[in-house]
Amino acid sequence: MLQKPRLLTVLDVVAIVSFIIATALVFFYAPLERVMGAVQKVFYFHVAAGWVGMLSFLLAAIVGVLYLIRKDLKWDFVGVAAVEIGIAFTLINVVTGAIWARPIWNTWWTWDPRLTTATIMELVYFAYLMLRSGIEEPERRARFGAVYAIIGFLSVPLTFFSIRLFRTIHPVVIGSNDPGAMGAFDMTPRMTQVFLFSLVAFSIVYFDLLWHRIRLGKLAERVESLRLKLQA
Amino acid sequence: MNGLTPFLRAMGAVVWKDLRAEWRSREVISAMLVFALLVILIFNFALDLQPNVRAGISAGVLWVTLAFAGTLGLNRSMAVEKDRGCLDGLLLAPVDRAAIYLGKAFANFLFMLLVAVIVLPLYGILYNTNMLMPGLLVVVLLGSEGYVAVGTLLASMAVQARTRDILLPILLFPVAVPVVVSAVKATGGFLAGWSWEEIQPWFTLLVVYDVIFTSVAFMVFDSVVEE
């Protein structure tokens, strides 16, 4: 518990190396997109970060269900870790999107449903953190966190997928596109390779961070219980 | 009463208790109503509701008004339970806790509908639009149901937190977005006289979220109130 597991160290190294390789691939291996040019390269990390963020929120909802069934605090450590990391990656997703949108859509931000729901999703999880910070008792905090993670995931991320009801300007590279979308393109084989590699690299980085954050949660709890023991 | 199952009887008792308490004090309804009126009047200045502009945004104004007034009622409905120790009394009662949840949610639903029943014609008179279309009324019914279903659950969490007065809107608004957006779109569709084919996707989304929120809240309420 106190000792850092060797597997985690290995995962650290793998995460760093694969992230460097992904960056190198994006810059030197992936071809330039004919119309959009260099800015299109944002796509590889934009989608990867969005994927990891969504995965993270899904994980938070799943461990929320597990917590409510088992009442084991270890699931709560996973839940809060997943939400925090998910917020970070969703923010990366939104910011890289804005960087791409500036030259392509000629604006940093537009009130497109897809952009708006992604941002509201971010707010759901900010609310999650605020809810937790308002409750001292760990067991109740875990219960409320679990409930809110479930409700939150049912709400906005699902809307995000049902977004095809709206007409959107956001391109869909995988699957069918809205005719109103701007900045769409077809991936060449090289692009697909780089894209898939960055998905894998981001996922490895994600699990590495998650592990660290869960460990941090456990250590923080240990510090807390030791402190109580000293006071007693 | 003898034809009813114990579950419905418990639920009915909670609803009846809330209605009677409200009938004696008239605190919540009057606060919600005055607040709703204020919101509508402020919107008039803020948005400069000219007849040509108004047509497009009536639905939005209406739902923002209902949502804000609803938050007021939801917060209050759980806060009185917590403050006077009524919640503990309710939880001690040997009934299914889901019945307590449904009772509270149904009472909140009735309060929100009452506000809507007064606000809708009033808005119609003030802005000279016909708000009393059957389709629109169904949307108000469904929208309020979804909002209150998730709102009652979140309010019962919010009152147990340290920052409770400010917490409910922050918890509720982002989560209630699917309900509010689909309700606004469907309402706007009815007001603008869209065909049913155009309104139907929003209507369906609204029904779907009503079902999701009500059933999930029903299932998890137990873990929100357990001590």
Amino acid at B125: I
Q: Please provide the DSSP assignment of A66-127 as one string.
A: HHHHH--HHHHHHHHHHHHHHHHHHHHHHHHHHHHHHHHTSSS----HHHHHHHHHHHHHHH
Query: Backbone phi, then psi, for A71, in 5-degree steps?
Result: 55, 35
| Rounded Cα distance, A107 and B51, in Å | 31
**Chain B residues within 8 angstroms (CB to CB) of chain A:** 150, 153-154, 157-158, 160-164, 167, 170-171, 174-178, 181, 201-202, 205, 209, 212-213, 216-217, 220, 223-224, 226
The number of angstroms, rounded, from the C-alpha of A35 to the middle of its chain's C-alpha atoms is 29
Sign of the CA dihedral B137, B119, B215, A156? positive
Q: What's the pLDDT tens digit per position in A129-172?
A: 999 999 988 889 999 999 999 999 988 776 676 665 666 667 76
Tens-binned pLDDT, residue by residue, of chain B (227 aa):
455 688 888 888 889 988 998 898 888 889 999 999 999 888 888 877 666 666 678 888 899 999 999 999 998 888 888 887 888 888 888 888 888 899 999 999 999 999 999 999 888 888 777 778 888 899 999 999 999 999 999 999 998 888 877 899 999 999 998 899 899 989 988 888 888 888 888 898 899 999 999 999 999 998 888 76
- The answer to whether the Cβ–Cβ distance between B216 and A156 falls below 8 Å is no
pLDDT, residue A92, reads 93
Looking at the partner chain, which of B162, B209, B224 has a beta carbon nearest the beta carbon of A134? B162
Size of interface A-B (CB pairs under 8 A): 83
| Cβ within 8 Å, pair B177-A120 | yes
**Contact at 8 Å (CB) between A5 and A208?**
no
Q: Which of B203, B220, B222, B225 to mutate to test the interface with A (most CBs of A within 10 A)?
A: B220
**Closest CA in chain B for residue A149:** B175
Residues of A with CB under 8 A from a CB of B: 68, 117, 120-121, 123-124, 127, 130-131, 133-136, 140, 143-144, 146-148, 150-152, 154-156, 158-159, 162, 165
Dist CA A166 CA A113 (whole Å): 7
Mutation to test the A interface, candidates B181, B198, B211, most A Cβ within 10 Å:
B181
CB contact under 8 A, B178 and A158: yes
pTM: 0.88
Low-confidence ranges of chain A (pLDDT < 70): 1-2, 158-159, 161-169, 172-183
What pLDDT does residue B78 have?
A: 86
Q: How far apart are CA A176 and CA A157, in angstroms?
A: 19
Tally of CB atoms within 10 A around B166: 13
Of A144, A150, A159, the CB nearest to B216: A150
Spatial neighbors of A137 by CB under 8 A, at least 6 apart, are: none
What pLDDT is recorded for position B1? 47
Burial tier of B208 (Cβ tally within 10 Å: 0-12, 13-18, 19+): middle
What pLDDT, on the 0 to 100 scale, is given for residue A118? 86
Model pLDDT, residue A123: 93
pLDDT of A164 reads 59
CB contact set of A89 (below 8 Å; sequence gap of 6+)? A49, A50, A52, A53, A56, A202, A206
